[in-house]
């Protein structure tokens, strides 16, 4: 029994379409200067939300604890937020957000966790909120 060509062709195109390599998934594409980095290693964007402390203390912490661990750079901006601690009462506070773009390495992970731990210890905080997401970056 002969199968009509108009049936075979669409089915074969459908099957072959799954074989195409996606550039967004690192399908062998070379990085282009000025274009988002889609070639491994992927980058991460980590944000640390640090309760505001007096300016001299903040500047010292930034210079002594953050900068040496990420000398390539980071961004800091002021924010305002609220949260509910275990005691149940809503607290409103000013916050410093440190944004670090970094490759997913054990060294970066260790550095970020050290910053969180040291901030909690030095400024008597319960915790430092951390948010980490994949990031496409270009320099």
Asked whether residue 22 is domain-assigned, the answer is: no
Give the pLDDT confidence of 18-73 residue by residue, as tens digits.
Answer: 444 334 444 455 556 566 655 555 899 999 999 999 999 999 999 999 999 999 99
CATH number of 94's domain = 3.30.70.120
Instruction: Yes or no: say if 100 and 133 are a contact pair by the CB < 8 Å rule.
Output: no
For 13, list phi and psi in degrees, rounded to 5: -65, -40
Dist. CA 70–CA 96, nearest whole Å: 17
Asked whether residue 8 is domain-assigned, the answer is: no
Give the pLDDT confidence of 84-138 residue by residue, as tens digits.
Answer: 888 889 989 999 999 999 999 999 999 999 999 999 999 999 899 999 999 988 8
Asked whether residue 111 is domain-assigned, the answer is: yes
pLDDT reported for residue 59: 97
Dist. CA 67–CA 55, nearest whole Å: 16
Collect all residues with Cβ–Cβ distance below 8 Å to 70 and sequence separation of at least 6: 100, 102, 111
């Amino acid at each position: 029994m002969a199968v009509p060509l108009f049936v075979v062709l669409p089915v074969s195109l459908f099957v072959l379409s799954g074989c195409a390599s996606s550039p967004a998934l690192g399908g062998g594409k070379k990085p282009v200067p000025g274009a988002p980095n889609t070639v491994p290693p992927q980058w991460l964007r980590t944000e640390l939300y640090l309760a505001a402390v007096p300016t001299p203390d903040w500047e010292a912490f930034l210079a002594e604890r953050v900068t040496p661990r990420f000398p390539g750079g980071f961004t800091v901006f002021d924010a305002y937020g609220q949260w509910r601690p275990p005691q149940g009462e809503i607290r409103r506070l000013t916050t410093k957000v440190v944004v670090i773009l970094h490759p997913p390495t054990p060294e970066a992970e260790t550095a970020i966790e050290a910053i969180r731990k040291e901030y909690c210890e030095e400024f008597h905080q319960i915790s430092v909120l951390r948010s980490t997401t994949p990031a496409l970056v270009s320099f």
